[in-house]
Structure 1
Amino acid sequence: MLINSIGQGLLWTPLVLGVYITFRILDIPDLTTEGSFPLGAAVTISAQLSGQQVLVALLLGFLTGTIAGIITGILNTKLHIPALLAGILTLTGLYSINMHIMGRANLALIDQKTLIDLIPVIGSDDVRTIVVTLPIVCGVLGLLYIFFSTRLGLDLRVVGNNRIMSVTNGIRADRMTILGYAISNGLIALSGGLIAQGNGFADINMGVGTIVIGLASVLLGEIMVASRKIVWQLVSMAIGAIIYRTILAGAMNIGISPDDLKIFSALILVVVIVAPMIGEKLKQKYRLAAYLKQQK
């Protein structure tokens, strides 16, 4: 179960990183996630079926995801549509676009090699998944760390932290926000392509609930690795994704039906949101009690 959870967690890590960029760095609730995820899957599988190599197909999926993010960013920053509504509008439009890309609701790889097939047979499919996806995830983490260490990346973080201050310091906040949207949804689309490779097909409805998965994984990662350093924050997203998949695998092992995993995912998100708040209140109560005891 653990090996499978690690493999699945690595496949989902780019999505979690994408959600982290909008949700934590830009402080924006972006629902484009549920459209860009199947977009990446649809483009990746369609590109493969048209004769493209696996890695090229994944790159195309990433690029189309960035375009989806740019569209949401323009709706939000240039047309002044609220972020939540801008994401819903792009998500709605992507449903039709994904249908046109695939030609039908479900598109399977037929007589095509998946990403896992790129390496010789060593152990189980779960082990091969880890061997293939780990370098990709490490590469993504490394590139993001380098990016956030540059002036451009620092400007993006400043915009998310304090938009008014960033503007007064000459940072073009709108451009930085659009860039954040683009990188986020590109990573989410990449994850969609990786998941489609692992499953062997793309489905029009595979994006449903992905925002919940991403948010729960982000919060789990932050609980497990509490650090202000960007490198550890990025690594914590991968850890959160693996822990989340481990929890789901454990739930299925104790008899929870796959049909109930969506509501179980929602409950996980509720717990990881509420638990830190309860813990903080208990700490404050304990400190107050200790202070009152000292006064006596």
Structure 2
Amino acid sequence: MMLLIGSLTIGLILSLLALGVYISFKVFSFADITTEGSLTLGAAVAAVLIVRGVNPLAATMAGGLAGMAAGCITGLLHTRCGVHALLSGILVMTALYSVNLRVMGRSNIPLMSVKTLPQQAGELGDALFGAGGPVPLWGWTVEREALAGLAGALLVAVLVALLLYLFFKTNLGSAMRATGDNAQMMRAQGIHTGNMLVLGLAISNGLVALAGALLAQFQGFADVQMGIGMLVWGLASVIIGQALVGPSRFGLAIVGAVMGAVLFRLLVAIALRWGLNPNDLKLMTALFVLAALVLPTMLRSLRQRKAVRHA
């Protein structure tokens, strides 16, 4: 049961990563590699501030703002300096590795001895429902702090998804979505598509950095390597989400990204439980994304060939 609750909590935290990847890759069709650096940046900024005594909530928000700044730089490199989209993300991601080391001062910052948001959530749960030992749940005993962390992660995921949905329903958000669909048409209507892209990448990387800040607090440490492979993880979550909800409205696509992140984390937990070597996790994730990208095209091609034969 603790494995299930922990997996659900991490999945909900990483749903913010999935939402950020969804904005850059699906809304704007922008191959943003900054993700792997901005996640670590959010974790590094939050960890350093928490260790120095800053309120964990304020430190988490600061981590998100740092990620937004990284996204802005990527967008400006592409729109103002004419750097290729993929290369601009690679440049910022590479630079962020050194920036993260500078921010942290070392490669790893432990957070076990300081108060973090999961601990505050546990204290809030004790204040509301009374302090005590483990809680019985469906025949299992679960620590109160773990349940509080799950409830907090669920609240954050729902709140962020709702705010994101409401934002993209505004005139500005609709202009951003239209820019991703048809930038030439939006330019003809007098919309500065470059600014739309910069803002979109800022929001995307802000969500990713927010996920990194929360993940570091839940894990109890921030590490300079924690962002490696997270872009593929986000893509896998988005692909699973699309398979769950199909080609539907934007609101359901957001829900699908959240569901995909949670389901993918559960699948990873099950695989590890059944004996998958943790060293092979990144490889298996990459193979999964590759299969999800290639199989639909192969199946479509096979259906077309059968249709031609029967014609």
Superposed CA RMSD in Å reads: 1.5
State the partner residue of 1:277.
297
Aligned to 2:96: 94
CA contact (8 A) 2:18 2:261 kept: yes
**Are residue 153 (structure 1) and residue 173 (structure 2) matched?**
yes
268, 273, 281: which one aligns with 2:288: 268
| Residues 236, 288 of structure 2: 8 Å contact kept | yes
State the partner residue of 2:253. Answer: 233
Q: TM-score, normalized by length of structure 1?
A: 0.94
Aligned-pair identity (%): 41
Shift, 1:227, TM fit: 3.7
Report the CA distance between 1:8 and its aligned residue.
1.5
Distance apart, 1:285 and its partner CA: 4.1
- Displacement of 1:198 in angstroms is 0.9
Mapping of 1:67-82 within 5 angstroms?
67-82=69-84
Give the alignment partner of residue 60 of structure 1, picking from 46, 59, 62: 62
Per-residue CA deviation, residues 94-145 of structure 1 (Å, 9 max, x unaligned), is 1111111111000111521222112236533543321111111111011101
CA distance in 2 between counterparts of 1:255 and 1:277 reads 32
Cα offset, 1:166, TM superposition: 1.1
Residue equivalent to 2:40: 38
Hey, what does 1:247 align to over in structure 2? 267
- Amino acid corresponding to residue 242 of structure 2 in structure 1: E
Contact 1:43 1:101 in 2 (8 A): yes
Query: What SS does the aligned partner of 2:190 have?
Result: coil
Alpha-carbon displacement from aligned partner over 1:137-187 (angstroms, at most 9, x marks no partner) = 111011101110001001111111111111011111000000011000000
Q: Secondary structure at the match of 2:46?
A: helix
- The whole-number CA distance in structure 2 between the counterparts of 1:221 and 1:287 is 29
CA contact (8 A) 1:7 1:127 kept: no
Distance 1:194 1:287 in 2: 50
Instruction: Please tell me the residue identity of whatever aligns with 1:195.
Output: L
The question of whether the paired residues in 2 share the 8 Å contact of 1:18 and 1:187 is answered with yes
Q: Distance in 2 between matches of 1:166 and 1:266?
A: 35
1:186-265 alignment to 2 at 5 Å? 186-265=206-285
Distance in structure 2 (CA, Å) of the matches to 1:38 and 1:64: 10
In structure 1, list runs of 5 or more residues that go unmatched: none
Q: How many aligned positions are there?
A: 291
Q: CA–CA distance in 1 between the matches of 2:306 and 2:262? A: 33
- Is the contact between residue 32 and residue 88 of structure 1 (CA under 8 Å) also seen in structure 2? yes
Alignment partner of 1:183 is 2:207: no
Unaligned regions of 5+ residues in structure 2, if any? 127-134, 136-141
Q: CA deviation at 1:206?
A: 0.6
Measure the CA separation in 2 of the matches of 1:287 and 1:6.
43
